Structures are given as structure tokens and as C-alpha cells.
Structure 1
């Protein structure tokens, strides 16, 4: 490996370690002491010169301290496009237009659907579950419209 073509996986691991450090609220001294105490790193106090396998070792230690790796925003699930999902999304946006949603995002819709059905994504709804969500959203809209008249 030369300086002109760094290993992208190694760089990703270093970034991930620094995200973990920030999320675990480790100051610089604490982080360097933790590194120095990890067996097999030879007392290293910086991740810059560690091998990829040692970076994995550091990441495992950070996970044991409570860090959870989450996928980045680029790895999102595609939006459901079946007719039921489009109807659910349309009703959700109607609620947004009525001004009753604190958060009208797709993530908030998925949380609502999960609360109603237990499904983690619109794509995973059965026909019966989709109908249930649609009916609940219609009832919610009707309640809002009744309250405003």
C-alpha cells in the first residue's frame, strides 16, 4: 500500500472508530489510554498506523463499550411503490397538509405503520395490514376535519 492509493476499507474503519469515539464521548486522553491498553496493539496510542486487523480489534472494543454501528444514509431501503403504499403515503401527506404531523418524513410514516402493524417497512405489509393502515389514516383525517367544522 502506498500513500497515493490508501486502502478504502482501512480509511472507513478509521472514520468509524472516530465516530464511535465521538458518540461514546471519549476525550483524547481517554481514547489514547484505551488504545494503549488493547492487547496486541503493541501500546499504540493512535489509529493512524494500525493495520486493518488491528483497526477491527479497536472497533470491537468500542462496540463492547456501547457503540452501535448504523448504516449510513446512502444505504436506505428503496421507497415502496405498490398501490397500497402510494395510498398510505398520500393519506400521510394529507395529514401533513392539515398541519397535524410533527414529522411528515418517510421515516416517521414507517414508525407509524410499525406501531399499527409491527411491520418494519411498507414493502412488508400484507394486504390486510395495508388496509388497516389506510383505514386508520382515513379515520384520523375525518377526526381532524370534524374538529375543524
Structure 2
């Protein structure tokens, strides 16, 4: 690599870091985006082409090289982080085709009636549910995302269990992966069991097959 190429690469890395800061991304979301867009959860190990794809993705989410006055950052509150994490989780399940912030914003607008994740505070009238005439917007968005995930989670858990059994029969599981498998298979999933327990089982099954989500950082 020539000195000029090294300098360009370093500039790309710095730009990704600036974008991460400006967009207010937490570490799990950031790593998931690196993996999804650039093909590697580690920026230092990523190809230049991958970095450029990551930067293009950040630009599509609103990142600007020269931030103009009045531009909004991504919300960084706990509710916003949870909504964003669920959105990426749904993309991993194959339920969401477009994991971008723009697509998430459109979803939040439809469900909560606001045009930005950071404005989910407050309540929204729910005419279809007399028991909850007004519901917290963030709670409403999170609840609908979890219900959406439950349309896909049970089937994916069955598929992952089959993969874990096959890998176990082949002697391919490490002690750590065996421990995750034991946790997953030890948690019964009756029809009335909700999202959180399904998610716990799914997380451990993913770890058991060596594909934790979000990917672990180096």
C-alpha cells in the first residue's frame, strides 16, 4: 500500500468515526451496521470498498461531511436505542428489508404519529383499543415491533435448534457454545410465552452456532 493509499484509508476510518459520533450510534448498533454494510464488524479489518459502503449508508441516514446549523442528531435515549435495536433485529430475522434510519423513521411516523424517533415522548390516542385510550408513544412502537418479531421468531428458533443439534452431533460446539445451547434448550417456550423469553432463547442459539447478534467487537 502506497503512502497516499494509507492516508486515504486513515481518512475513511476517521470519517466513519465522525459519522458514528454525529449520528449518536451506540456500540452494538454501530457494529451491526459495519457488518451489514461493510462485511466486517471490525473497521480496521474492513476493505476500503466496505468502508465506502458504510460511509454511503451513513450519508443516507443524514450524516453530512459539513454539518449545517440546525441539523438534528439521532436520538440517544434508552427508548430510541431500544427501538433502533429492535429494528435491526427484525432486519436480521428477515422481517425488515430496509434497515435504514429513513425506513425506521417512516415506521415510527405511522405507528406513533411523529416524524422522528427522538420525538416519541408523550402519548398517542389509540381509538382501536378502548382499554388504552392513550398510550405512551415509545411503548407503543416497542410493543408493535415485538409483536412483529413474534411472527418470525418461533420458526427461526426451530430452525436454529436443528442447526445446533446437527453441530452437536458433529462435535463442533465449543464448551461456551454448549453452555449457550443448554440455556436455550432449557427454556421452554409455551404458546403463551412472550417476546423476551423467545429473544433469550434465540440469542443463545445464535451464540451456540457461532453467530451472536449483534456481532461481538474485536
TM-score band, normalised by the shorter chain?
0.3 to 0.5
TM superposition score normalised by structure 1 = 0.48
The structure number with the bigger radius of gyration is 1
